[in-house]
Copies of this chain bind each other. A is one copy, B any other.
Amino acid sequence: MERGFPESNRSREEPKLRKIDVFTHIWPQPYFDALQKVIGPMSNMPRRVAAIPMITDMDRRFEVMDMFGEDYCQILSLAAPPLEEHGTPEQALELSRIASDAMAEICQKYPDRFPGFIASAPVSNPDKVVDECRRAVEELGACALQVYTNVNDKPLDLPEFAPFWDYAAEADIPVFLHPHRTADFPDYQTEDKSNYEIWWTFGWPYETSVTMSRLVFSKTFDRLPNL
């Protein structure tokens, strides 16, 4: 998004250009606290994420952002794990609420730095997911929704997830599809886990391709053409 305006506009007057990083992860402090309560000692991906100072430390984030110049800003979204991976559907909903509240607050406080955020949809909670997405979008101003390529190993084209897609289409809002796979998904059926980090170097793009294919062939996009 470095060049936000078509070439034809350029000749007349120079608009203010901004570098908008549309996919920048964060764990706001209230969310980080709540996440730690749900998952306990961190291992695997959460531990890797927590080791990145900018994820939890706002001062460090501003330092890093300044390296990219004054016109640089970020759209915020949560880092892995998926909300649903370590807790109950109720906990996933609570984590979603805490995260959206916190990201909205950061955006309000620093609108030039953070012009928007992506709400994490609590898709493991089918009774509440639409209400919470609606709250995040219509009350808090979320500009997109985030889901992962599987919901506790289930594909996103199952009927139980249809209300989420329906809402995203109704709200006419982008959905960010984040890859999700851990080393527990083996690459060979004679093995128990994936070796050499293949589960994400190749497994994540594979997950994304599979999920998009499933949404196409399950006719989710036929049903919701503006998704």
Asked whether any CB of chain B lies closer than 8 Å to the CB of A190, the reply is yes
Asked whether any CB of chain B lies closer than 8 Å to the CB of A155, the reply is yes
Report whether A210 and B198 are in contact in the complex, using a CB–CB cutoff of 8 Å: yes
Report whether A195 and B217 are in contact in the complex, using a CB–CB cutoff of 8 Å: yes
DSSP class of A's interface residues: helix, strand, loop or mixed? Answer: loop
Chain B positions within 8 Å of A187 at CB level: 155, 210, 214
Chain B positions within 8 Å of A185 at CB level: 189
Name which of A16-24, A34-42, A43-51, A201-209 contacts chain B: A201-209
Q: Which of A152, A154, A187 has the most CB of B within 10 A?
A: A187
Contact of A210 among B150, B202, B213, B217 (CB under 8 A): B202
**A interface list, Cβ under 8 A from B:** 150, 152-155, 185, 187-191, 195-196, 198, 201-203, 206, 209-210, 213-214, 217
